[in-house]
Structure 1
Amino acid sequence: LRRALRPLEELRDVVRVVDPLRPGQRVRLEGPASEVIELAEAFNDMLGRLEDERRESARQALEAQEAERLRVAQELHDEIGQSLTAVLLQLGRVERSGSPAAAEGLAEARETARSSLEDVRRIARRLRPETLDDLGLGPALADFCDRLAQQSDLRIERSLAMELPPLKQEEELVVYRVAQEALTNVVRHADTDRAELRLEVKPDRLRLVVQDWGRGLDGQPRGGGVQGMRERALLVGGQISVTEPPGGGVRVTLDIPLDEAGLWYR
């Protein structure tokens, strides 16, 4: 009797721990055919359908989010950016033809406009990284690290694989956004001036690692950030792990299986 009821116990255990952001959990099917086995099979099928539906919903939501980011970035660049550029040109003409008494105020106004223009460009780059579209994943990650280091006190050691397998646009975007989120969390919450970013090609997977030597998980906010990274990872069959390494700090690891992501490496 106990052997016959084992699938039911497995079903109970899986129901208790099932997590939509950690797909692949299934009831093990053992023993002869029975109503209990059929129930477990139906539950496994239901989990598979739910995972597929969640993945598709997340894909559509994130595609819409990226499309909106692109639209806003283009508007910032094309409209606000051009307007500020025109203001700079006008201020320059007035400054050259105006009185010496007004020169100082005009110079300050021009500097404010120049700073605002740079802010607009920075926000537009963050919304939609041009280097990712133009140069690819490696240069885009390097560019983001350089800009983040300039804007903060963080020193980012990076090791980027020289040769990457051909990547789809959504795969590059997932890796970039996870790195962006993880490094931004380091600046905001880790209380450290040192971080590391690695992009590695393993025999069966593409791996991104972001590590810091800060306060550890106790200093990190829980919820939205990690959940967002996990949802992005699921879109390409990947997984996120967030751990505290022996040396302290936090390590975020993104693994994208090459076979599941449709990648190949020659």
Structure 2
Amino acid sequence: MPYKDDQIILIIVTGTALLLLLGFFMVGFLLLFQKKQNKNRIEKVELQASFKQELLKTRIEIQEETLNYVSRELHDNITQVLSFIKLNLGLLGNKLPDPEKTKLNDNRELVAQTITDLRNLSKSLSFEHISALGLVKTLELEAIRINKSGLINMELSVDGEAYSLGEQRELVLFRIFQEALNNALKHADAANLKIGLYYNTQMFNLTIQDDGVGFQPELLNDKSGSGLRNMTNRAGLIGAEAVISSSPKQGCTIKLSLNPLVQEIYANGTHSNSPG
């Protein structure tokens, strides 16, 4: 009888052990399956984010190519035609009596001013021009051009010792400025635009502030706020964080923060953007 009891106990113990092993196996399998699912989910999200980033990058590159083409057309063709018209007006003026000559010279001066404005506009569209001058100098020239136009008063301030952020980063920052300027003129009806650049070895900040009519924060998620989303998307490409704040009749403020030591996604593998 004791022998049979021992057999029963052995069977029970063995069965229990097998059930525990089976349970551990099932739990381990489920955990492994869950881990693989999570990994696949993360990889899918990363692939989607990477695809969106590459799509945005490609779109911006196409925009830059278009702007460079327009810049070349303005500089090489349209300004050349206007220069020819200006020359002909000068030759024609020599054959006219003084009253008509004065009127013609006035028109000739308007053509000359148009040529100058188009050349300045051409430079602001050209990547090569921005790359050669750098962000600070380009913004200084833009401030002079914009203030001369009388459309809006632009004030630029630079805090800290300026250094190169890299060609691609500075181009993207300048395009963000142009988008903000366009919004201030087209939508905000602003009279003043303040641009602040802050340079530090650990952080770069760009602040763009207008005194326009402002907008509801919900516009950032609306289709009509595509210009605002463009700025945040462009900022993301260079590893910058963009914060846009506004309220009706309070103007709009755009703050971009960028760690100059962090390599941006937009980069092409070569960098000369270490702070000096």
Deviations 1:84-122 (A, max 9, x none): 112211211221133446425533542453344234324
Instruction: Provide the residue aligned with 2:259 in structure 1.
Output: 257
Instruction: Name stretches of at least 5 consecutive residues in structure 1 with no aligned partner.
Output: 1-31
The Cα shift of 1:159 comes to 1.7
TM-score by length of 2: 0.73
Counterpart position of 2:93: 95
- How many equivalent residue pairs? 235
Q: In the alignment, does 2:35 pair up with 1:74? A: no
Q: For residues 229 and 37 of structure 1, do their structure 2 counterparts lie closer, same or farther at Cα, with a shift above 3 Å needed?
A: same
Q: Deviations over 1:115-169 (max 9, x none)?
A: 4423432431332266523321111112112222222353333222453343321
1:145 matched residue in structure 2: 143
Instruction: Classify the secondary structure of the residue corresponding to 1:211.
Output: strand
Shift of 1:177: 0.8
Shift in alpha-carbon separation, 1:99–1:249, aligned structure 2, 3 A: closer
Shift of 1:40: 2.9
Q: Secondary structure at the match of 2:165?
A: coil
Q: Looking at CA atoms only, which structure, 1 or 2, has the larger radius of gyration?
A: 2
Q: Distance in 2 between matches of 1:56 and 1:119?
A: 35
**Cα distance in 1, alignment partners of residues 110 and 145 from structure 2:** 21
Given that 2:127 and 2:171 are in contact with CA atoms closer than 8 Å, whether structure 1 keeps it comes out as no
Q: Distance in 2 between matches of 1:135 and 1:240?
A: 24
Cα offset, 1:210, TM superposition: 0.5
Partner of 1:13: none
C-alpha change, 1:123 and 1:166, in structure 2 (3 Å) is closer
- Greater helix content: 2
> Among residues 240, 243, 253, which one is paired with 1:241 in the alignment?
243
CA distance in structure 2 between the aligned counterparts of 1:60 and 1:102, rounded to whole angstroms:
54
RMSD: 3.0
Aligned to 1:61: 59
SS in 2 for 1:160: strand
Shift of residue 185, structure 1, vs aligned partner: 1.5
Say if 1:147 and 1:112 are closer, same or farther in 2 by CA, change over 3 A: closer
CA contact (8 A) 2:131 2:171 kept: no
Distance 2:150 2:99 in 1: 37
Indicate how the Cα distance of structure 1 residues 125 and 146 shifts in structure 2: closer, same or farther if over 3 A, else same: same
* Cα distance change of structure 1 residues 93 and 162 upon mapping to structure 2, 3 Å threshold: farther
State the distance in 2 between where 1:37 and 1:260 align. 30
Q: Structure 2 stretches of 5 or more lacking a match?
A: 1-29, 265-270
**Is residue 131–residue 139 contact of structure 1 (8 Å, CA) maintained in 2?**
no
